[in-house]
Amino acid sequence: MKRRSGAAVMSVILAIVAAVFWVAPVAATDSGAPRIAPPVSDAYGKTYPEWLGVYWRWSLGTAQDPAQSTVGHVQLMPQPAEELVSGSGTPEDPAVLVGELAITLRPGTPFVLPLVGIVGERYAGYPAVPDDDPELFTDLLEGISANLTIDGRTIISDANQAAFYLPATFLDPIVIYPEPTGYGSVAAIWFQGISIVSPPLSVGVHVIHLDATNIVPGFFGVVYDNTWIVTVTPH
């Protein structure tokens, strides 16, 4: 895999959020928090890897087109627009990104989102220019620290994040980008990281907050501070 610039890394390392669901629940670190299900569970007709494949196909293949952001009654939660506040994106000087997103959901709407990870890509000139090699990122989890809260209650922390880690999973077919990136990538071919599927939240306003760090020695460093304001309307 070619070493990317800090700007390139920030455009492909996608950290967002998710929450809880009811099948075969495992207690979260806060006993009063919602419950989270193991990634081996099925929900809403798909497995955990299948939902993430659907998510990346939407996020990367349609540039998060709002008109295609639901699958059945399941919401594919968009990312916040993030602002670079400091750092160059190297492991020694991580890029610090801060974002906030407000979204309104109907009652009874589950949602899907990754939390922190990496997407492997194909580049213009393939096969002379090789694809990103997932074998270079088998230790990705060692550099991840993900802390997720919903309404102030801990859902994901260092203590349980490994249970939600999905190793490199190939997209079939690959996801062709609407247009090439500034550093020459033209498609996504695999993804890996920590992700969660959430059941519907109750009617009202909910605050989801993510603090996450993703450091890969020799490649990149990113720190995220993202907030989602989720309003579930009664109608």
Question: pLDDT tens digits, residue range 118-131?
Answer: 999 999 999 999 99
| pLDDT, mean of residues 139-165 | 93
pLDDT at 79: 92
In this predicted structure, what is the pLDDT of residue 210? 97
Average pLDDT over residues 126-155: 95
- For every residue of 123-166, DSSP letters joined together read ETTTTTSPPP-GGGGTTGGGGEEEEEEETTEEEE-TTTGGGGEE
Quick one: pLDDT at residue 235? Answer: 73
Nearest in space to 75 (alpha carbons), one of 37, 115, 109: 109
**For residue 152, is it within any domain?**
yes
Once rounded to an integer, what is the mean pLDDT over residues 20-32?
35
Q: Is residue 178, in this structure, part of any structural domain at all?
A: yes
Q: Which two tokens stand for residue 218?
A: 């020799």
pLDDT band at 146 (very low <50, low <70, confident <90, very high): very high
80 has a pLDDT exceeding 90: yes
Contacts of 179 (CB under 8 A, 6+ apart): none
| CATH code, domain with 98 | 2.60.40.3010
CA 165 to chain centre: 11
On whether residue 1 sits in a domain, the answer given is no
Q: Which stretch, 34-38, 127-131, 195-199, has highest mean pLDDT?
A: 127-131
The answer to whether residue 102 is domain-embedded is: yes
With cut-offs at 50, 70 and 90, classify the pLDDT of residue 29.
very low
Both tokens assigned to 173: 């077919």
SS3 (DSSP) at 223: strand
Q: What is the pLDDT of residue 38?
A: 63
- Give the pLDDT confidence score for residue 36 in this predicted structure: 57
> Is the confidence at residue 34, as pLDDT, over 80?
no
- Give the structural domain span for 212: 6-232
Q: How far apart are CA 58 and CA 55, in angstroms?
A: 5
Residue 39 reports pLDDT greater than 50: yes
What's the structural domain count of the chain? 1
Percent of the chain exceeding pLDDT 90 equals 73
Minimum mean pLDDT range among 4-13, 140-149, 212-221: 4-13
